[in-house]
Structure 1
Amino acid sequence: MIVVTAAGGSTGTAVVRALRARGRSVRAVVGRRGPRPELTALGAELVVAELGRPMAWSGVLAGAEALYLIWPNFDPDEAEGAPALFAEARRAGLPRVVYHSVLRPQLRVMPHHAAKDRAEEALDGSGLRSWRVLQPCAYADNLDAQLPAVQADGRLRSPWGLRTAQSLVDLRDVADAAAVLLTEDGLDGGTFEAAGPEALTAPRIAELVGERLGRAVRAEDVVPRGEVPTSYAARCRRTMFDHYRAHGFTGSPRVLTDLLGRPPRTFAEHLADLDPGALGLPDRTPA
């Protein structure tokens, strides 16, 4: 049995799917009660537990062989909450913990990176018998919701500008890498980057999207206005895109290639695999 937190989110659900594809039993931790048809269809055991609130985790972790700790994105409690969960895992005698971090957490100009950096430091000193860290870059999937609008008006909106590049990674590859770290031996104490195979600027992304849509697409620079917001989540988003605009966010695909035993998917491959009907895209499947 492997426990996956924040399992109702896109990353958590993808990890549950990857583990179930390997035949592993999964206890999926969600923050609120309610139907979770996708997780239920995958055959996961559902458990309700709020990561940011003090509670006894012994029941959640009972009988588990590993924990995949995903903290909800842009949550201000991560820097203190994740170490508390590591301590719970140690007290429960959990054989293995894998922490879902981020590429280059040491970039503390971004609060959510700083929180993950502090969590990684705590993990190193946690006393856990076996731990690993996965550090993904930005997901290719983050752009999917924008595609119907792009199809309608031919504009790809980029909040990180037009000059700098990102190594967008397919979420399925991140989930498959997480499954490797959760189930395979010989990886203890390792920190593993998960970056896509290409350094893509917004104009290049627009070109690839245009090829998928069968129409001209241009990248449009969406420059943020006003002062940096004070609320935590908004400040995280603003400082993140400001950093991307100035420096990009790229990494090497070599580590992910080794984990997967194959090259990670390109952005064009990601686009080709999207469900045309769900996103209002033309079906490019041969007749």
Structure 2
Amino acid sequence: MIVVTAAGGPTGTAVVRELRSRGEQVRAVVNHRGPRPELTGLGAEVVVGELTQPMAWSKVLTGVDALYLIWPNFDPDEAEGAPAVFAEARRAGVPRVVYHSVLRPQLRAMPHHAAKDRAEEALDASGLRAWRVLQPCAYADNLDGQLEAAQVSGVLRSYWGLRTAQSLVDLRDVAAAAAVLLTEDGLDGGTFEAAGPEALTAPDLAERIAAWLGDEVVADDVVPGGEVPTGYAARCRRTMFDHYRANGFTGSPRVLTDLLGRPPRTFAEHLADLPVPGAASR
């Protein structure tokens, strides 16, 4: 049995789907009661557990083979909460823990990266018998919500400018890498980057979207206005895009290629697996 936290989000659901496709039994931890057809339909056991609140972790973790700890995006409690879960996993005797981090967590200008950096430090000192860390780049899937609007308007909105590049990674490849770290031996104490195979600027992405749609698409620079917000989630988003605009966010695909046993999907391959939106007039 493998436990996946934050399983109701896109990353958690993708990891559950990949594990189930490999025949693994999965206990999916979600933070609210209610129907979870996207998880029960995969054959996962769904349990309710709020990561930021006290809960009976012994019931969730006792007797399991591995834990995949995903913390909800842009949550201010990660730096303190993740180490608390590591301690629960140690007390429960979990044989293997994999932490879902981020590419280059040491970039402390971004609060959510700094939180993951501190969590990785705590994991190293946790006393757990075996642990691994996955560090994904930004997802290609993050642009999926813009595709229909790009077809209608002919514009891809870029919040990170037009000059710097990102090594976008397909979420399915991230999930496959997570499954390897959760199930295979010989990887303990390792930190594994998961970056896509291409460093693409917003104009590069627009060009590929245009080819997929068979219509013209150009990238538009959406420059943020005003001061950096004070709210945690909004500040994380703003500082993230500010960093991407100034420096890009790229990495090497070599580690992910080795984990997958194949090259990671290109952005064009990601698009090819999506339904093309219906024709729309501008």
Q: TM-score by structure 2 length?
A: 0.98
Give CA deviations for 1:211-243 in whole Å, capped at 9, x if unaligned. 001101100000000000000000000000000
Cα displacement string for residues 55-77 of structure 1 (whole angstroms, at most 9, x for unaligned residues): 22000112210000000000000
Partner of 1:42: 42
Q: List runs of 5+ in structure 2 lacking aligned partners.
A: none
What's the secondary structure of 1:35's corresponding residue? coil
Contact 2:158–2:220 (CA<8 Å) still a contact in 1? yes
1:161 match: 161
Do structure 1's residue 93 and structure 2's residue 81 form an aligned pair?
no
- Aligned in 2, Cα 1:281/1:10: closer, same or farther, shift over 3 Å? farther
Q: Which residue of 1 aligns with 2:140?
A: 140
| Residue 226 (1) aligns with residue 226 (2) | yes
Counterpart residue identity of residue 48, structure 2:
V
SS at match of 1:198: coil
Letter in 2 for 1:121: E
Q: Name the structure 1 match of 2:112.
A: 112
SS in 2 for 1:177: helix
Instruction: State the alpha-carbon separation in 2 of the partners of residues 218 and 55 from structure 1.
Output: 49
1:133-162 CA-to-partner distances (Å, cap 9, x unmatched) read 000000000000000100001000000000
Shift of residue 281, structure 1, vs aligned partner: 4.7
Please give the secondary structure, in 2, of the residue aligned with 1:116: helix
Q: How far 1:54 moved relative to its partner? A: 1.7
Whether the aligned pair in 2 keeps the contact of 1:213 and 1:281 (CA below 8 Å) is no
Contact 2:62/2:93 (CA < 8 Å) preserved in 1? no
Contact 1:195 1:253 in 2 (8 A): yes
Large movers: runs of 4+ above 3 Å: none
Residue aligning to 1:102: 102
- 1:14 equivalent to 2:24? Answer no
For structure 1, which segment, 47-56 or 246-255, has the greater mean C-alpha deviation from structure 2 after superposition? 47-56
Partner residue in 2 for 1:246:
246
**AA at the equivalent of 1:242:** D
Shift of 1:254: 0.1
Quick check: 1:167–1:251 contact (8 Å CA) kept in 2? yes
SS in 2 for 1:209: helix
Q: Which residue in 2 is equivalent to 1:121?
A: 121
How far apart, in 2, do the equivalents of 1:281 and 1:138 lie? 27
Root mean square deviation of aligned Cα: 0.7
User: 1: distance between equivalents of 2:141 and 2:92?
Assistant: 35
Percent of pairs identical after alignment? 83
TM-score w.r.t. length of structure 1: 0.96
Letter in 2 for 1:58: S
Distance, in Å, in 2 between the alignment partners of 1:145 and 1:164 is 21
Is the Cα–Cα contact under 8 Å of residues 133 and 192 in structure 2 kept in the other structure? yes
- Measured in 2, the distance between the counterparts of 1:55 and 1:173 equals 31
Letter in 2 for 1:221: D
